[in-house]
Chain A
Amino acid sequence: GIQVEQSPPDLILQEGANSTLRCNFSDSVNNLQWFHQNPWGQLINLFYIPSGTKQNGRLSATTVATERYSLLYISSSQTTDSGVYFCAVRLSGNTPLVFGKGTRLSVIA
């Protein structure tokens, strides 16, 4: 099946710093989502981005489908950005979303 690899696995940032999280996938996909899981377990949708670039406030994401990767940019990080960031992809048709193992981000004041 499709492989989804996220890097780095863990990241510690000083408040105000910028960061880039990466998601590599092993096959062509027709659906890619980024989620933020907060400390209480809630998965929050950040981006639905099978290709191209999107921005939402301090966050932006770029997916280069032909090269099988996606990047999530966090600028001017805040302590509330802490949590685990997941990338999930769908291969095609009726296949389910496949999740990466996540990047655990800790933003310290």
Chain B
Amino acid sequence: ETGVTQTPRHLVMGMTNKKSLKCEQHLGHNAMYWYKQSAKKPLELMFVYNFKEQTENNSVPSRFSPECPNSSHLFLHLHTLQPEDSALYLCASSQYMGLDNEQFFGPGTRLTVL
């Protein structure tokens, strides 16, 4: 247990569906992150939120929409995805963005787009 939880753990969706991934951290951290991990590729940073403000959007298509209602929760809303979006989506948190802060990861949501 890292103190970061993600739901659901597995998700299968059609290309016309709308779904949301949820991340919650119980560490009192102020920065939260979404990463995408595709087969045989390095982890790709998608979004960063620092004190609920988005500070990084790494050229992510608009069919992925993040939401950070408070420092403990982070959502990734999915709409009209493509099969190539199938991947493991990982959430992470750290005390602060930048400086010398250790990052902790959730267990991930394995997404399959049909």
Contacts and interface: CB of A to CB of B under 8 A. Distances in A.
Interface of A: 30-31, 33, 35, 40-45, 48, 50, 86, 88, 90, 92-97, 99-102
Nearest to A102: B42
B84 interface: no
Contacts of B48: 96
Given A96-B48, A96-B56, A100-B42, A43 B90 contact: yes
Would you call the interface of chain A mostly helix, strand, loop, or mixed? loop
Contacts of B107: 40-42
B93 to A, nearest CB: 12
B114 to A, nearest CB: 20
23 contacts: A30-B100, A31-B101, A31-B102, A33-B102, A41-B37, A41-B88, A41-B107, A42-B2, A44-B2, A44-B105, A45-B104, A86-B43, A88-B43, A92-B98, A93-B98, A93-B99, A94-B97, A94-B98, A95-B98, A96-B45, A96-B48, A97-B45, A100-B42
A2 to B, nearest CB: 13
Contacts of A86: 43
A63 to B, nearest CB: 13
